[in-house]
Amino acid sequence: MTKAEAYDKAWRLGRKGDFSLVDEIYHQNYKSIDYRTGIEANIEDDKVIVSTLGESVVFGPSKALFEGEDFVCVEGFAKRQFNVDEPSYGIMMTALSYQDGKIVSQKTVSSDLDFDPSEGQNWNWKDYE
């Protein structure tokens, strides 16, 4: 399994309450800073965030844009349903830095999309729910 595949699989399992792979691939010194809020998070904080999102967010397919020994960049789509209106969609890019073969930091940026990225593709959101 590639590093990008392990990252994707770890968080898909985590969304179901199984954080064993997350614990395996993240470095003990992991931290991430949300520059919008200035809040620093550790892996336990990230687990709480993912658990809180619950069924409000569906993460679609992801793919590695770059994968090296100490750095991986992953692109993915999200469908967000925070209210009863129509869902909103986004695209995310996550940069993962590695130390000793484990993720030691990550940064995610996202942009809203004004269309459903599954339309016209060979995948649908039900495949990821």
In DSSP terms, 91 is beta-bridged to 77, 111
Contact in structure between 44 and 115 (CB atoms under 8 Å): no
Contacts of 105 (CB under 8 A, 6+ apart): 30, 31, 32, 96, 97
For the cut 80, the answer to whether the pLDDT of residue 40 exceeds it is: yes
Note the maximum CA span of the chain: 45
- Asked whether residue 30 carries a pLDDT value surpassing 80, the answer given is yes
Q: How far apart are CA 62 and CA 73, in angstroms?
A: 10
Using a CB cutoff of 8 Å and minimum separation of 24, what contacts does 61-65 make? Answer: 61/123, 61/128, 62/4, 62/8, 63/4, 64/2, 64/3, 64/4, 64/5, 65/93
pLDDT one-digit tens code per residue, 44-65: 999 998 888 777 899 999 999 9
**What residues make up the domain containing 112?**
3-128
Q: Is residue 35 over pLDDT 80?
A: no
CATH assignment at residue 48: 3.10.450.50
Residue 5 has pLDDT above 90, yes or no: yes
At 55, is the secondary structure helix, strand, or coil? Answer: helix
Domains in the chain, number: 1
